[in-house]
Homo-oligomer: A and B are copies of this chain.
Amino acid sequence: MALKKKPVTGMKDMLPKEMEIRDHVIQLIKETYKTYGFSSMETPCVEHIENLCSKQGGDNEKLIFKILKRGEKLKIEQAKEENDLVDGGLRYDLTVPLARYYANHANELPSPFKAMQIGNVWRADRPQKGRFRQFMQCDIDILGEQSNLAEIELILATTAMLGKLDLKNFTVCINDRNILKAMAAFSGFKEEDYDEVFIILDKMDKIGSEGVSAELEGLGYAKENVDTYLKLFDEISPDVEGIAYLREKLGSCLPKETADGMELIISSVEAAKEAEFRIKFDPTLVRGQSYYTGTIFEVTMDDFGGSVAGGGRYDKMIGKFTGQDTPACGFSIGFERIVMLLLEHGYEAPGNRARKAYLLEKKLTGEGMLKVLSLARADREAGFQVMIANMKKNKKFQKEQLESEGYTEIIECYSDSIGSL
């Protein structure tokens, strides 16, 4: 078989320039989240196929890279369908593996457990610009914390981190599945229709109130219900006032603890935030994943069409592994989008070392090389990034290249003058 030079379809080789930014962002994320008491943890990239296909991943389950059984377990002749051939798959997110990890290790972990994960996930999505089949996710999750302290800390930590990357003009949008449900109930929709209604509501920012109205009526929902529903959205201000309005308007449809929680989260985040951003109550925020049970939130950025981070509360997932519900809430950053934004903005990772290069004349002796090595050693100990390279015939081009890589000091080393260095 001929060797292939390109990476596999939809996946990406990372060049040094991009890696510099990626390494810097990862380090910044780890440092920032640590100050918030999150502990680094990791699961294997390969997960049991049963766990990946457990209906918690929604559409992502259609996109799994599956791993062939090995040895005697693989019986090709007898295989009828895909799942006869495979026993594992590459994880499509970090949340399902986290639930398994927590179920496996709860006794060894503090409670609540504040987890930080940075790792690749894989989805066999149709390749398109800026979307890759292997991409990095950075998640923080708080497991075992029922109170909204979890949401507050997750939002403060995530926004502090974004602020340290000099990202400005971003907004945290927040909503609660229970508010979505209360508004639908108040408007007269039936519980079995909620999911369909929310899928259409989710398009509000694209098709507007009239579009949503038309689609809902098109599906046969009563005009009266649709009108009541959409009128509610018109009258909600995007802050704690909005919550107060709904509290009064929806009455017993809206659980008191939901309204209290939203007010507490919004006011606490407003008061304690480290970075510059807006927090906005957004009753049209839906978020797709079916596993969310309470608050949901998202970071949108003016520079970027779409969200750069998202999360919410999923109090029922861990119980599927353990048989016992454990409150859980998480926030995931769109690492690739953020790196893309930084690259587009010409972001320079700060704190890069001063760079020095030694170019060695070809006939430099062993003695001469030792001299250079000992100079380089001292430079490195002093914190320099030092390149030692043999001088090329086209020295001018070589120096230009080194300069373009940030080597500001370039020292030519010749055998007859090495003593004077």
Contact = CB atoms under 8 A, between A and B. Distances in A.
A271 interface: yes
A100 B5 contact: yes
A23 B11 contact: no
A168 to B, nearest CB: 19
Task: Please classify the interface of chain A as helix (H, G, I), strand (E, B), loop, or mixed, using the class held by over half of its residues.
Answer: mixed
Contact of A16 (B39, B370, B405): B39
Contacts of A2: 50
A366 B268 CA distance: 8
A386 to B, nearest CB: 6
Interface stretch (A102-110, A174-182, A193-201, A220-228): A102-110
Interface in A12-29: 12-16, 19-20, 22-23, 27
Say how many copies of this protein the assembly contains. 2
B46 A105 contact: no
Given A272-B370, A274-B381, A65 B46 contact: yes
Interface string A73-112: 0101001111001111010000000001101110011101
Contacts of A345: none
Interface stretch (A207-215, A306-314, A372-380): A372-380
A80 B377 CA distance: 58
Contact of A85 (B19, B76, B370): B76
Interface in A355-402: 355, 357, 360, 366, 369-370, 373-374, 376-377, 380-381, 383-390, 401-402
Contact of A387 (B1, B23, B68, B114): B114
A67 B85 CA distance: 10
A219 to B, nearest CB: 31
B16 A40 contact: yes
B380 A36 contact: yes
Contacts of A421: none
Nearest to A376: B272
A131 B413 CA distance: 46
Nearest to A106: B5
A103 B19 contact: no
A6 interface: yes
Interface in A31-75: 34-37, 39-48, 50-51, 53-54, 65-68, 70, 74
Given A45-B134, A134-B46, A366 B264 contact: yes
**Top 7 closest A-B pairs, CB basis?**
A11-B44, A272-B373, A16-B39, A37-B387, A19-B40, A14-B42, A1-B50
Given A45-B45, A70-B124, A145-B390, 12 more contacts: A2-B50, A3-B100, A4-B48, A5-B103, A7-B104, A16-B41, A19-B42, A36-B380, A37-B385, A74-B82, A268-B373, A271-B370
